[in-house]
Structure 1
Amino acid sequence: MENTIVKLKKGEGRLLKSGGMWVFDNEIDRIEGEFEDGDMVAVEDFDGYFLGHGFINTKSRIVVRIMSRKKAAVIDEAFLRMRVKDAWEYRKATVDTSSCRLIFAEADYLPGLVVDKFSDVLVVESTALGIDRMKMQILDIVCEVLGEDGIHVRGIYERSDAKVRMKEGMERTKGFLTEPFDTKVEITENGVKYIVDVEEGQKTGFFLDQKYNRLAIQRLCRDKKVLDCFTHTGSFALNAGIAGAARVLGVDASELGICQARENARLNGLEDRVEFICRDVFELLPELEKKGEKFDVVILDPPAFTKSRSSVKNAVKGYREINLRGMKLVRDGGYLATCSCSHFMDPELFTKTIREAAKNAHKNLRQVEYRTQASDHPILWNADESYYLKFYIFQVCDEK
C-alpha cells in the first residue's frame, strides 16, 4: 500500500476518469503523506474514491502517471513481468518481431518507457522519472522473457536524450547499458536490409512505425519513377527499389541520413536505380516543378512539423505547402503517399489540409487507402496521445 495519497479537486480528473493515464498539476487539490518524486502513490477523487496507482513527479506538469487502476494491484517485480509478458505476446500475435517496438509506453501500460528491438539489440528510451527508476529491472525482465523464446539479447543501448526529459527534471542521457557492442545493427524489414545506427540515428535509430506503410507502396512502384521526400535513411525509397522501380530519387536535409541511405542502397544492391541527394525538400520541389519534372509516385514522410498545440497553425502551412508541391509533381493518374507523425495534427485537420492543397493544385484525389502506425505501436483508445501517425495513399488526377 502507498503511504501517499494524491487528492483531486472536485470536478477534476476528466481525462483520468474517461480512461486516460495522466493526472495534471492543475487537477490536484492536495497531497497527503510524505514522498519523493518518482515514488508510487495512490490517486483518489475528492470524495475518497480510488482512481489508480501511479508514480509521482511534482517537477512535471503531468504529476502522476497511472500504472494500474486496480486497487489491489502491487507494483512489484511480478506486476512488471506481467506487463512485459503481455506486451511481448501481443507483438508475437500481430507483427514481424525480428525488429519491432516491444514496449510502447502508455499503450502498453508502462508510461514513459519505449523499448525497440533491432534484431538482437534493444534500444530503450525513458522519459518519466518513476519509470526511469524501474528501467533496469524492466530490461532484465525483457531479456528473460525473450530468452524464454530462445532470443538472446546481445546488448542494450539507451537513447534517453529527448528534450522532454528536462520537463521531468531529468538530464538527457545516452550510452551503453550493457557491455559495449557495434552500434550499427543490420536488420531486414519487408525484404529490405538496413544498417540501423542506434547511437547516432534519429530517435532510437529507425522508424519502425511505418513498417507496413512502406510495404503498402511497393505494389505501386514497379517500373515507375519515384520521388521519396524526407527519406531519412532511405526506407521508402528502398522499398520502391526492391519492388522494381525504374528510378528512385530520395531527398533529405540531413547529410548523416543521406550517407546512411546510400550505405543501405549498396547493402541491397540498388545503388544503380536508387539515388539520394542532400537537399531541403521545400527548396527542391519548386525547382523540380519549374524544370517540368514528373513522377509516377511521390512519397511525403516529413518529420513532425508541430510538437505542441501552440504551433499547429504554422504546421498546417508546412503540410499544405509540401502536399501542394508534391501533387504538382505527380503525373496525371500517378500516386501520392503522404503522412503526418504529429499527434497534434489530428486526422480531421490533416485531411482538411490535404483537401485544401488539392484544391489549390487543381488536382482530383482518389483515395486508395488510409493507414496508421504499425500495430507494434498500438493505439490505446483511452490514451489519445498514442494515436499519432496518419498515412494516405491517393491517385492524383488532373481536373476532369
Structure 2
Amino acid sequence: MNYCKVILKPKKEESLLRFHPWVFSGAIQSIQGKPAEGDIVEIFGSNNQFLALGHYQIGSIAVRILSFKQIPIDIHFWVERIEVAYSIRKSLGLAGTDYNNTYRLIHGEGDNLPGLVIDVYAHTAVVQAHSVGMHHARSIIVEALKKVMGESLRNVYYKSESTLPFKANLGTEDGYLYGGEIEEIAVENGLKFYVDWLKGQKTGFFVDQRENRTLLQQYAKDRSVLNMFCYTGGFSFYAMRGGAKVVHSVDSSARAIALTNKNVEANFPNDPRHEAYAEDAFKYLEKMGSNYDLIILDPPAFAKHKDVLRNALQGYRKLNAIAFEKIKPGGIIFTFSCSQVVSKENFRLAVFSAAAQSGRNVRILHQLTQPADHPINIYHPEGEYLKGLVLHVE
C-alpha cells in the first residue's frame, strides 16, 4: 500500500534509530502527500532512509510508531501484536484463571501499540483509543481480539469519548462493538467486584494497583484503615480480607461510593467493619481526628500537563502533610501519584517536604510502581507513570 511520507530534519532520526515510539512535530522537515489525521504514514530520514511506520496525528506528537519495519498493517499485524501481549498475561497467571480474570491486555507503548489501551474484565474487553489512528482501527482490533481470545471473549466495549483529541471532531460515542452484556462480576486475586465500564473512570477499574493492594493486605491486620479517593473500593476490601478492625472509604463521587458498597457487600456481606462516605477528600482529612493507623492516598492525576506540575506537587505535599499530621504513631501510609509528568524524584521530594513539615520520623518501607501487565517499553521511559511509597510513621 502507498502511504504518505514524512521526511525528518537532519539528525532528527536519532530517536527512531534508538526505537523511541514517537515523532514530534518539530522533527519533521516535510510531508509528501496530504495525510488525514489517523492515517498510516511512512517515516524517512533526511537521507531518504526508511525508519518506521506509524499513525499520523495533528499535535506535538505527530506520529506514533507501529513498526520499525516496512510491513503491512493488516489483520495479521494486529493478531500478532495482541497474541504476544496475551501470551505474556497468561504466563503471569492473569489470563484464563478462576482466581484472576482482570488484567490489562494492551498497554500502549509498553506493548508496541502506542495510543491503545485494552483492559479485560472476565469476558469483556474494554478498548480505549488515545489516538485518532487507533480510533480508525477499532473494527480490525475487535476482529483480532476475537481471533486471539476465542470463546473467552463475549463483549468488546469501546470507551474513548474522553480520551481522543477533542479537536479531531470524530463524534465518538462509547458503546459495544461486539456482544452487549451490561454487568458482570470480575475477579481479582479471588475477590469479586462489579465494574462500571459504561460510566466509570478510565476503563471502569484501576487495574494497575493489583499488586499494591495485595501488599496492603499484609499490613492491614488489626489496623484502622482510611482509604482516600477510594473509587470503587479496591484497597478497602483487600484491607478487610487482611483482617483490618475498621475500614473507611472516602470519595467525592456518590456513584463511586455506591459501587464501593456493592463491591464490599459482594465479598463481605453484612460486615459492620466497613463504612463509606461521599465527601471531599481534603475536607474529610482536615476534620478527622487521629483515628487511623493505615492510610491510603491514591488521588487522581493532579497533573496531566507539565504547565500545571508546580500546582500538582503542592497538592501532593498538602495531602501527605495532613496524613503525616493525623496518623497514629506506628502508622503506615500508602501514598501514590499516577501523573505521568510527575517524576519519581518530584513525587518523593513532595512527600519528603510533607514529612519534614510534620517533624515526625518517617521510614520508606517500599517503593512501588505499576504491575507487569502495564509494561514499560525500555525505549520509552515515559511509560513509567505510577509511583508509590509505603511509609512507616513514628
Q: Same fold (TM over 0.5)?
A: yes
Match of 2:115 in 1: 112
Gaps of 5+ in 1: none
Match of 1:222 in 2: 221
CA distance in 2, matches of 1:40, 1:2: 10
1:324 aligns with 2:327: no
Question: 2:103 aligned to 84, 96, 100, which one?
Answer: 100
Match of 1:36 in 2: 36
Question: 1:306 aligned to 294, 303, 308, which one?
Answer: 303
Q: CA contact under 8 A between 2:132 and 2:164: conserved in structure 1?
A: no
CA distance in 1, matches of 2:53, 2:165: 22
Q: How many aligned positions are there?
A: 388
Paired AA for residue 160 in structure 2 = S
How far does residue 306 in structure 1 lie from its aligned partner after superposition?
0.6
Q: CA contact under 8 A between 2:321 and 2:357: conserved in structure 1?
A: yes
CA distance in 2, matches of 1:190, 1:329: 31
Alignment of 1:156-235 (within 5 A): 156-182=156-182, 184-235=183-234
Question: 2:75 aligned to 69, 74, 77, which one?
Answer: 77
CA distance in 1, matches of 2:381, 2:242: 35
Answer with 163-172 or 22-31: which moved more: 163-172
Paired AA for residue 240 in structure 1 = A
CA distance in 2, matches of 1:221, 1:301: 16
Q: CA contact under 8 A between 1:163 and 1:172: conserved in structure 2?
A: no
Q: CA contact under 8 A between 1:229 and 1:299: conserved in structure 2?
A: yes
CA distance in 2, matches of 1:26, 1:354: 35
TM-score, structure 1 as length reference: 0.93
How far does residue 80 in structure 1 lie from its aligned partner after superposition?
1.6
Q: CA contact under 8 A between 1:367 and 1:394: conserved in structure 2?
A: yes
1:241 aligns with 2:244: no
Q: CA contact under 8 A between 2:333 and 2:390: conserved in structure 1?
A: yes
Gaps of 5+ in 2: 96-100
Paired AA for residue 252 in structure 1 = D
CA offsets 1:317-367 (integer angstroms, 9 cap, x no match): 110011111122221111110000000111000011111100001122211
How far does residue 218 in structure 1 lie from its aligned partner after superposition?
0.3
How far does residue 12 in structure 1 lie from its aligned partner after superposition?
2.6
Paired AA for residue 94 in structure 1 = L
Answer with 293-302 or 339-348: which moved more: 293-302
1:132 aligns with 2:131: no
CA offsets 1:216-258 (integer angstroms, 9 cap, x no match): 0001001111111100011111110111111011111011000
1:379 aligns with 2:382: no
How far does residue 198 in structure 1 lie from its aligned partner after superposition?
1.1
SS across alignment from 1:331: coil
Alignment of 1:18-29 (within 5 A): 18-29=18-29
CA offsets 1:352-399 (integer angstroms, 9 cap, x no match): 1111100001122211111111111111121233210011111111xx
Q: CA contact under 8 A between 1:162 and 1:172: conserved in structure 2?
A: no
TM-score, structure 2 as length reference: 0.94
Q: CA contact under 8 A between 2:24 and 2:63: conserved in structure 1?
A: yes
Q: CA contact under 8 A between 1:60 and 1:169: conserved in structure 2?
A: no
SS across alignment from 2:355: helix
Answer with 379-388 or 9-18: which moved more: 9-18
CA offsets 1:148-200 (integer angstroms, 9 cap, x no match): xxx42221111112154314443342011124322x22112123211111101
1:368 aligns with 2:365: yes
Match of 2:98 in 1: none
Match of 2:263 in 1: 264
Q: CA contact under 8 A between 2:128 and 2:163: conserved in structure 1?
A: no
CA distance in 2, matches of 1:195, 1:250: 16
